[in-house]
């Protein structure tokens, strides 16, 4: 067995994008609008958006939850991939950023598929569980405050049906998780989550070197 790994240089990444990404025009415009913001690096890349859309189709998702909307790129990418009766419950706390998201959801004609909840996601997820929604979701994406990831994960795992998928963003954290010298709260939280998921028998697992690290956890 060889340990075959590829270092993705800029040239390889460009090739990958040119030979994989089929970005709808509305997503290209949303990416451009977001690139003008100081927090632009929080946006996922088009290849990751496309992967999320593919994953949603693979699990046959109709009911989705997103924790951390920012300007709505991932929710829009997934909404475009959902059937017309598909729904995303989108959780965020920023009126300012989600105003951009709303504008592009509307422009893309998928506004009816996305319900935005502007309050702490933990509260929203707890309310869903209290309303008897456990086991009723197919697909979840987590891209929000890192110290709360474990809380989101535990709540989402209850909300997912068996066979449902949680995608968790930034789990390699620019490589900091692999460096024991890094002890900032975000790195510590992500490292603890990665350790826990590795041992978690409730899920099937893959940590992909996509974007800043993307963990896929399928509920057993």
Q: How many residues bind Ca ion (CB under 5 A)?
A: 3
Which of residues 124 and 215 has its CB atom nearest to Ca ion in the complex?
A: 215
Q: Which stretch binds Ca ion (CB under 5 A): 52-60, 109-117, 168-176, 182-190?
A: 168-176
With binding defined as CB under 5 A, does residue 66 bind Ca ion? no
Shortest distance (Å) from residue 172 CB to Ca ion: 11
Which of residues 87 and 146 has its CB atom nearest to Ca ion in the complex?
A: 146
With binding defined as CB under 5 A, does residue 143 bind Ca ion? yes
Pairing outcome for strands 160-169 and 203-208 = unpaired
Q: Which helix (H) or strand (E) holds 80?
A: helix 73-81
Q: How far is CA 34 from the centre of its chain?
A: 17
With binding defined as CB under 5 A, does residue 170 bind Ca ion? yes
Which of residues 170 and 194 has its CB atom nearest to Ca ion in the complex?
A: 170
Centre a 10 Å sphere on the Cβ of residue 20 and count the other Cβ atoms it contains: 11
Shortest distance (Å) from residue 73 CB to Ca ion: 10
99's tokens: 């105003």
Of 91, 77, 60, 76, give the one whose Cα is nearest residue 156. Answer: 91
Do the Cβ atoms of 203 and 157 come closer than 8 Å? yes
Shortest distance (Å) from residue 140 CB to Ca ion: 14
Among 73, 87, 169, 214, the residue binding Ca ion under the rule CB under 5 A is 169
Do the Cβ atoms of 143 and 169 come closer than 8 Å? yes
Q: Under 8 Å CB-to-CB from 112, ≥6 apart: which residues?
A: none
31's tokens: 């990416």
Q: Which stretch binds Ca ion (CB under 5 A): 7-15, 79-87, 164-172, 181-189?
A: 164-172
Interacting residues toward Ca ion by CB under 5 A: 143, 169-170
């Amino acid at each position: 067995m060889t340990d075959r790994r590829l270092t993705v240089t800029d040239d390889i990444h460009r090739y990958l994008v040119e030979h994989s990404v089929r970005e709808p025009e509305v997503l290209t415009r949303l990416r451009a609008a977001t690139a003008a913001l100081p927090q632009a690096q929080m946006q996922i890349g088009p290849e990751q958006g496309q992967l999320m859309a593919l994953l949603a189709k693979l699990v046959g998702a109709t009911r989705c939850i997103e924790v951390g909307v920012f300007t709505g790129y991932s929710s829009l990418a997934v909404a475009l991939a959902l059937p017309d009766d598909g729904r995303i419950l989108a959780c965020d706390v920023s009126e300012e950023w989600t105003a951009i998201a709303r504008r592009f959801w509307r422009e893309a004609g998928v506004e009816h598929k996305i319900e935005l909840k502007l309050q702490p996601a933990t509260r929203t997820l707890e309310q869903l569980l209290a309303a008897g929604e456990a086991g009723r979701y197919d697909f979840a994406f987590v891209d929000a405050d890192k110290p709360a990831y474990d809380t989101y994960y535990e709540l989402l795992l209850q909300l997912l049906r068996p066979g449902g998928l949680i995608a968790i963003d930034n789990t390699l954290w620019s490589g900091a998780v692999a460096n024991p010298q890094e002890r900032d709260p975000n790195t510590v939280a992500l490292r603890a989550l990665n350790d826990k998921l590795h041992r978690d028998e409730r899920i099937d697992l893959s940590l992909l070197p996509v974007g800043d690290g993307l963990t896929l956890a399928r509920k057993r």
